[in-house]
Amino acid sequence: MAQPASRLESAPPLPSLIGMNPDQLAHAVGQCGGRPFNGGQLAQWLYKRRVADLGAMSDLPKALRVTLAEKFSTITSQVIARQESGEGTTKLGLRLHDGLVIECVLMREHDTDDVSGPPDRLTICISTQAGCAMGCRFCASGRLGLKRHLSAGEILEQFFHVADLLRQEGAAQGRPESWLTNVVVMGMGEPLHNFDGLMGALEVVNAEWGFHFGARRVTVSTVGLPDRIRELAGQGYQFNLAVSLHATTDEQRTSLIPTNAGTGLKAIIAAAADYFRVSRREVTFEYTLVGESNDAPDDALRLAELLRDFPRGNVNLIPMNPVEGSGLKEPTAQAVEEFTRLLRQRGVNVHVRRKRGRRVLAACGQLRLQLESASGSPVSG
Ligand code: SAH
């Protein structure tokens, strides 16, 4: 972990305005001598205009802005690196107030092969923790263990950094700024392990007064914590659920994901089925293909069998992105093809994830490993 540069940096952060609902914003404004309607103005600036700089909020009284800045924080993280894949993916490395580093990613996607026009989808991939406690062997995020949960405000700050990026792009191209169409919680960390932070952020993401993304445009990816999957179902949202399965026997899964020892495949699939029953949302099972580990034809057959009775599910195959020092291999193109063919033959709905952004070390956590070993590195374009 990087050492804080000053005492100020290590002081506990002030409560953040980012993440507050309109009532809480009105209360915060009241504490600073403002009028209740100023809370509504603040919500507009934050969640509709995506501006977090109090100095820019020109219709709020100056004195109020000064007092707000003394009592509350807004953006506490800083962009310290930026990597472009050349395939429409931009990854940002963010330094948190305490020196920890996280990542968020912007993906620009076209629905067809014609990539000349503006992208059809702009997706943000957000982190929910600094580090991760799950320890998946093929994942760089868990390499250094869990450092801490992100607050709802810190999770949401990632949207503001991407908004800045899109605003700069729009200005450079002489057009209005574009905005995100989709949200995936697939960055660093296990979202359901930081349940409160996640739910606080997703409330703002989904709410009419907030960023207002329809629940169907939001996907939460989990390593598979059965109790928390049911708790998520009980929240009354219709978020898409992606479950990282990655194996077809418990022995194999535990060797890739140590925390599986305490859960087990059957319990995860049962919880995912409950999620479908409550939310009526199709569940995606993610399967990272690791060469000579879980990519054999027998694995494909067992996977089809495991999901045979699943009410409505589909499989997302992700050829492993190599992670230095993991001792794991990428699958061969033939293995990926055969795995896909066998699943399709058995009626499983399969997608193979393109290797997007390999050049920006797309697999989660890899940029951060680099940045933390060279802490304080400047922003690179
Ligand atoms: N903790 C959550 C979300 C973060 S990881 C989860 O486990 O789902 C998002 C997805 O990327 C997961 O399916 C994860 O297994 C996969 N992933 C992580 N590292 C990878 C790598 N090196 N190659 C391919 N997929 C990877």
Per-position DSSP letters for 254-282, written without gaps between them: HHH-GGGGGT-HHHHHHHHHHHHHHH-PP
Q: Which atom of ligand 1 is nearest to the CA of 326?
A: 22
Could you tell me the distance, in angstroms and rounded to a whole number, from the CA of residue 186 to the centre of ligand 1? Answer: 7
Q: What is the DSSP string of 72-99?
A: -BS---EEEEEEE-SSSEEEEEEE-TTS
Domains and CATH numbers, the chain: 17-71 (1.10.150.530), 78-373 (3.20.20.70)
- Output the furthest CA–CA distance in the chain (Å, rounded): 68
CB 102 less than 6 A from any atom of ligand 1 = no
Packing angle of the helix pair 62-71, 22-31 (nearest 10 deg): 100
> Distance from the CA of 148 to the center of ligand 1, in angstroms?
18
Rounded CA-CA distance 127/77 in Å is 13
Helix axes 297-306, 333-345, angle to 10 degrees: 30
Which residue's CA is the closest to the ligand 1 atom numbered 5?
186
301, 381, 314: which is closest to 353 by C-alpha? 314
pLDDT of residue 225: 98
Phi-psi region of 352 (alpha: psi -120 to 50; beta: other; left: phi over 0): beta
Cβ of 138 below 6 Å from ligand 1: yes
3-state class of 184 per DSSP?
strand
Q: Which of 104, 125, 364, 372 is the catalytic position?
A: 364
Side-by-side strand order, sheet with 121-125: 78-84, 89-95, 101-109, 121-125, 182-185, 218-222, 240-244, 283-289, 313-319, 350-352
Question: For residues 224 and 136, what is the distance between their CA atoms, to the nearest angstrom?
Answer: 12
Instruction: Decide: 136 in ligand 1 pocket, CB within 6 A.
Output: yes
Q: What is the pLDDT of residue 5?
A: 45
Amino acid at 98: D
pTM reported for the whole predicted model:
0.93
**Helices assigned H by DSSP within the chain:** 7-10, 22-31, 36-43, 62-71, 152-172, 195-206, 226-233, 250-256, 265-279, 297-306, 333-345, 366-373
Is residue 123 within 8 A of residue 104, CB to CB? The reply is no
Active site residue 364: yes
Ligand 1 pocket member 247 (CB < 6 A):
no
Q: Is 231 exposed, middle or buried (0-12, 13-18, 19+ CB in 10 A)?
A: middle
Q: Is the CB of 182 under 6 A from ligand 1?
A: no
* Residue 259 Cα to ligand 1 middle (Å): 14
Ligand 1 probe mutation, 246, 314, 318, 320, most atoms within 8 A of CB: 318
Residue-level pLDDT at 8: 47
Q: Please state the φ and ψ torsions of residue 186, each to the nearest 5 degrees.
A: -135, 15
Check residue 370 and give its pLDDT.
Answer: 64
Give pLDDT, residue 3: 44
Give whole-number Cα distances, 372 to 1, 5, 40, 80, 138, in Å.
7, 14, 39, 11, 19
320 lines ligand 1 (CB under 6 A): yes
Say which amino acid occupies 310: F
C-beta 222 within 6 A of ligand 1: yes
Task: Give, using CA atoms, the residue closest to atom 4 of ligand 1.
Answer: 186
β-strand 78-84 against 89-95: which pairing, if any?
Answer: antiparallel
pLDDT of amino acid 34 = 97
Q: Residue 381, exposed/middle/buried by CB under 10 A (0-12, 13-18, 19+)?
A: exposed
What count of Cα atoms within 13 Å lies in the side-chain half-sphere of residue 270? Answer: 7
Q: Which of 201, 212, 221 is nearest to 179 (CA)?
A: 212
32 is catalytic: no
Q: How far is residue 55 CA from its own chain's centroid?
A: 29
10-residue block means of pLDDT along the chain (381 residues)? 46 90 96 95 98 97 97 97 88 96 93 84 96 93 92 98 96 94 96 98 98 97 98 96 97 96 96 96 95 98 95 90 89 97 96 62 58 47 33
C-alpha 174 chain-centroid distance: 30
The rounded distance, in Å, linking the Cα atoms of 228 and 243 is 12
Whether 323 is in the pocket of ligand 1, judged by its Cβ within 6 Å, is yes
